[in-house]
Amino acid sequence: MAFSRFLTLTLLLTLSLFSSVQDFTKETASDFESCKLKYQVSSLQINDTQAFAVNNKYVLFYSHDEPKSHLIKRDPFLGLNLMKTDKHFKHIFKFYKNRPKYLAAVLPNEVVEGKLLRVQIGLNQLGKFSSKSKKNAFISGTCCGLMGLSTGEGIIDKAYIRHFLESKKIVYADIGIRVADKKGVFVVEVNPFFENSPFLLNDIILYMDKKKSLNAAQLSRDILFSKPGSKHSFLVLRNAKKIKLRATFKQRISGGLIPDSFFGFFGLELDENLFVKKDNTKYQIKKGDKLLFVMGKEVKTLAEIRGILSLEKNSKNPLVILLFKREGFDFFIHFDKPSNSI
């Protein structure tokens, strides 16, 4: 009888302790308040935004335009900035190794809970948070680690932030393609001006070197974080056949905050509304000219330009013809495609 009573008490005590542990480890909305407090004591006000500590001497923040503040470095593609400060911080924000169950966008004065609906794919497609998040809110779990950073328009993934912090010079690599997730990792855009590019529209990329392409986000990172000038092998599925390709990486020149039109090799810079950003004497293009048509098709967005140009990769046209408008009159120019792309 005594043993039975002891066993029952032991069991009840074990269940009670287990329940307490479960309650202690369960994440709740109020747990994010500690992250807000940590942001308050480990951040700086810079103009109209906040910068938070990534070590005892440096703060990180996002800005669309390059700030006038003295910077250690800036990523012109994603708008990340690193600045040195004399202030000593009580808390340093570190990266999560795993994805936490609960997330929130945290600022010194507010916490907005939500979910990560979409991860960042390359430079042109930022991640998406389910709730409206303000600029320089960091995306965190209840342990106050870093999962991403809000630009106000999207989320910069922690992998890109880590790459930025660890790189002496901000350089990305390019092989002339953009990818997306369909039934596999598909090539959805291809630059016809990229010399010696072996890829075609609708190729399905299975492997880069010996690493399996799990999704577009992962493959985009592997490409972008590679060294320009390096050579890599790819296994792709094209027309239901597996083929091996080899590509030489070049330096990425556009994407993200640098409008990505595929015309960068010719020194043609367009803004988001397709106006020319600066004079180009070689092709007699002036700042303020507006691009209207590409290969006879009207264009209104950069994505439409890339879509039309992607079709030209497989075509036999040796030229790409553009129609511009300048102060009441229209004019044509053309760009030559490299011979190996025809």
Say if residues 231 and 246 touch (Cβ distance below 8 Å).
Answer: yes
Residue 194, domain member (yes or no): yes
Q: Are residues 137 and 35 in the same domain?
A: yes
Q: Are residues 139 and 90 in the same domain?
A: yes
Say what the pLDDT of residue 206 is. Answer: 97
Q: How is residue 242 written in tokens?
A: 């597996």
Residue 7 in 3-state DSSP? helix
Q: Are residues 82 and 121 in the same domain?
A: yes
CA-based nearest residue to 135, from 105, 158, 175, 176: 105
How many structural domains is the chain composed of?
A: 3
Segments of the chain with pLDDT less than 70: 1-30, 340-342
CATH code: domain of residue 284: 2.30.42.60
Q: Are residues 49 and 130 in the same domain?
A: yes
CATH code: domain of residue 239: 2.30.42.10
Say what the pLDDT of residue 225 is. Answer: 97
Q: Are residues 68 and 162 in the same domain?
A: yes
Q: Are residues 52 and 159 in the same domain?
A: yes
Residue 5, domain member (yes or no): no
Domain of residue 128, residue span: 30-166
Residue 198, domain member (yes or no): yes
Q: Are residues 247 and 275 in the same domain?
A: no
Residue 3, domain member (yes or no): no
Q: Are residues 153 and 184 in the same domain?
A: no
Last residue of a domain, one of 135, 166, 197: 166
Say what the pLDDT of residue 127 is. Answer: 97
Q: Are residues 35 and 154 in the same domain?
A: yes
Q: Are residues 243 and 270 in the same domain?
A: no
How confident is the model over 36-94, as pLDDT tens digits? 888 888 888 888 888 999 888 899 999 999 888 789 999 999 999 999 988 888 788 88
Residue 19, domain member (yes or no): no
Helix (H) or strand (E) holding 14: helix 2-25
CATH code: domain of residue 74: 2.40.10.120
**Going by DSSP bridges, is the β-strand pair 204-208/80-84 parallel, antiparallel, or unpaired?**
unpaired
Q: How many residues would you count in the chain?
A: 342
**Judging by beta carbons within 10 Å of its beta carbon (0-12, 13-18, 19+), is residue 254 exposed, middle or buried?**
buried
How confident is the model over 209-237, as pLDDT tens digits? 999 999 999 999 999 999 999 999 999 99
Residue 11, domain member (yes or no): no
Q: Are residues 41 and 143 in the same domain?
A: yes
Q: Are residues 159 and 216 in the same domain?
A: no
Last residue of a domain, one of 166, 190, 224: 166
Last residue of a domain, one of 147, 166, 185: 166
